[in-house]
Amino acid sequence: MTSTTTSPLSGTEPLKSVATRTGGSTRRRIRKDLLRSRVAAWSAVLVIGAFGMAPVYWLLVTALSPTDQAFQFPPKLIPTEITFHNFSALAENDQLLKYLVNSMIVATITAVLSVVVATYMGYSFSKFRYRGRRSLMHLVLASQMFPQALLLVTLYTVFSSFGLLNTYTALVLSFTTFTMPLCVWMLKGIFDTIPDALLEAASIDGASRWRTLHSIVAPLAAPGMIAAGLFAFVRGWNDFIFALTLADKEKQTLPPGLVSTYIGEFQTAWPELMAASLVVSIPVVVAFMFLQRYLVGGMTAGSVKS
Amino acid sequence: MSTAAPPEPAARPRARHGGRLSNGAFALLLTAPGLALFAAIIVYPLVSALFTGFFKQDLRLPGREFVGLENFTYWLDGDFLTILKQTLVFTVGATIVPFVIGFALALALNTGLKGSGFLRGLFLFPWVIPGVVVSFLWMWIFNANYGVLNGILMDTGIIDESVTWLGQPGTAMLAVIITKTWASFPWMMVMLLAGLQTVPKELHEAASMDGAGAVRRFVAVTWPQVRGVASIVLLLEFIWNFQHFDTIYVLTGGGPAGATETFATAVYQSAFKGFDLGRATALGGLWMLLLLVLVAVYLRITERKGDAR
């Protein structure tokens, strides 16, 4: 997908050619049309930009505000005083550091498990034709749409009967319920782009099917596997409901950890919470920067092409 | 794996006899770890949930007692319609509003503005940050005592005194929908922009030459080309919102006075606050039934588009 294609109305060259072919009135009309669409486009960008960016601005401002400034009413839209105290306070909070470590561990294991399992499954869906394949694919696709809150209720009883509550295992397995289907679909798409002829050539050269998959296909699909892994990591990192319910303070991850730390019964420490929120977002934003290409491609590939 | 067996094309479905697995069996073997996981953590819990709805069972205690349809009638005679209505209000609102915003933005960026690539990346920010952070941020913006929204609205004279946006039934649902809208319009923008970019430029040029105005060009040229993407985007977002939990739970917890209670929060509350597993799964079963219809529609549409090859 190209991002900066210019439409014919905005370039000058098509205009000129139009002008030489047709009369002046058409040229005037098209120029007026162009001006109008420019104005409309910029107004939309500005209005939606304000809606989209103002909250992000406010997140930053609050995170950098000393407490007394944050609790002023009406709030100062342009801060007069800036402090990094809210960030340094985070580093001193041992419980938050524990949540952070838990998040890292659980999201990483989730990503690795999802990608390994999904690589085999996606490869099978992409390169083989067999009975029941379509039903399995539909099952995987549909499972992304099962209500998580209901799944959670029964996973809780299952984990409880196996004594797995408050373990990393419970969190990893429950995160896998939504990361694995996603990875299967992403990786199937990646394998679809690898030509069958390559596999046939490998087979003619005497490579077994396992060897073909592990030494020829997997290296080619590696960028896609990394992208799928990052996706799974981000989804695991962001999960709230499973981590909130299946683990206690010892094993909980950051999102529910932030709720129990900051959303108090009486007064919430908003500047610190905003600073913590920024810190939680960092890995996601960084992963996203690496992912952007795959992300837009992956999201749109299936649904745009028909 | 036997090395003596003659090579065969891996991509061809051809059953073989002898020392090696047939391709079909090999393919199934590849899916085995995934299927095992799938059966254990998705299929089994969901199937058992459907049965639990017929029992009286405490979340914390072992043992249960068969009560037939009692749990279902509890909801159907009680809050079911209210919850359904509120779920639909949230779902429709949080689908349509970001769709309109995302579409407007996609159309604007598609006119070839300077730096539209950069803008697209910037606009994705709200969608990228974690859902819980989104909820915290808007909770702070909506804060009744110190919130920036009340500050701005009072400064500009639109309201006279602070509004407790999240604390009163009249505005809580609106606030939740605005929050979810903020988090999801960027995704819709990206998808629709991708759809728009498949529209051949020549079509627009030709229509414009023939004297078609902006509205006419949109209806006759743009819309038919993006209709497919638009329907998938709307349906997916509808399905996701129908079971959305995080934003509502953090912002209002289903309150005030149950005004933002949806299936997701009601199932959660009855299981983990009321400890009534039977009632929770009974409501969950009714909810699943409604979702299945939506998912079937979705599969139909993607199938027709050849997405699931």
A96-134 tens-digit pLDDT: 999 999 999 999 999 999 999 999 999 999 999 989 899
pLDDT at B14 > cutoff 50:
no
- What is the reported pTM? 0.86
- Put simply, whether A60 touches B (Cβ < 8 Å) is no
pLDDT of the residue at A16: 47
Chain A: residue nearest B31 by CA?
A: A121
Other Cβ atoms less than 10 A from the Cβ of A239: the count is: 28
CA distance linking residue A233 with residue B169, whole number of Å: 37
Average pLDDT, chain B: 85
Contact A149, B264 (CB under 8 A): yes
**Cβ <8 Å between A147 and B264:** yes
* Chain A environment of B3 (Cβ under 8 Å): 206, 208
Which phi and psi angles does B56 have, rounded to 5°? -95, 115
pLDDT of the residue at A302: 47
pLDDT at A2 > cutoff 70:
no
Q: Who among B44, B105, B245 is closest to A44 (CB)?
A: B105
B109-135 tens-digit pLDDT: 988 778 888 888 888 889 889 999 999
> How many Cα atoms are found within 13 Å in the side-chain-facing hemisphere of A115?
22
pLDDT at B18 > cutoff 90:
no
B91-111 b/e (C-beta count within 10 Å ≥ 16 → b): bebbbebbbebbbbbbbbbbb
Contact B223, B107 (CB under 8 A): no
B221-242 tens-digit pLDDT: 888 888 888 988 898 899 899 9
Beta bridge partners of B139: none
**Cβ <8 Å between B13 and A158:** no
Q: Who among B117, B151, B208 is closest to A73 (CB)?
A: B151
CA-nearest of A147, A220, A302 to B87 is: A147
pLDDT at B9 > cutoff 50:
no
Interface test with A, best of B3, B31, B64, B279 (most A CBs within 10 A): B31
pLDDT of the residue at B242: 93
pLDDT of the residue at B134: 95
pLDDT of the residue at A275: 93
pLDDT of the residue at A296: 63
CA distance linking residue A287 with residue B259, whole number of Å: 37
A169-178 tens-digit pLDDT: 999 999 999 9
Q: Who among B130, B136, B307 is closest to A273 (CB)?
A: B136
Question: What number is the average pLDDT over the span A32-58?
Answer: 88
- Non-local CB neighbours of B184 within 8 Å, separated by 6+ positions: B94, B98, B127, B237
* Chain A environment of B101 (Cβ under 8 Å): 48, 51
Q: Who among B107, B112, B287 is closest to A10 (CB)?
A: B112
Q: What angle do CA B155, B160, B165 make, to 5 degrees?
A: 90
* Chain B environment of A203 (Cβ under 8 Å): 7-10
Beta bridge partners of B65: B56
Question: What number is the average pLDDT over the span B177-186?
Answer: 95
pLDDT of the residue at B1: 41
B45-95 tens-digit pLDDT: 988 888 999 988 888 888 888 988 989 999 999 899 999 999 999 999 999
pLDDT of the residue at B204: 74
CA distance linking residue A63 with residue A84, whole number of Å: 8
CA distance linking residue B270 with residue B67, whole number of Å: 17
CA distance linking residue B159 with residue B162, whole number of Å: 7
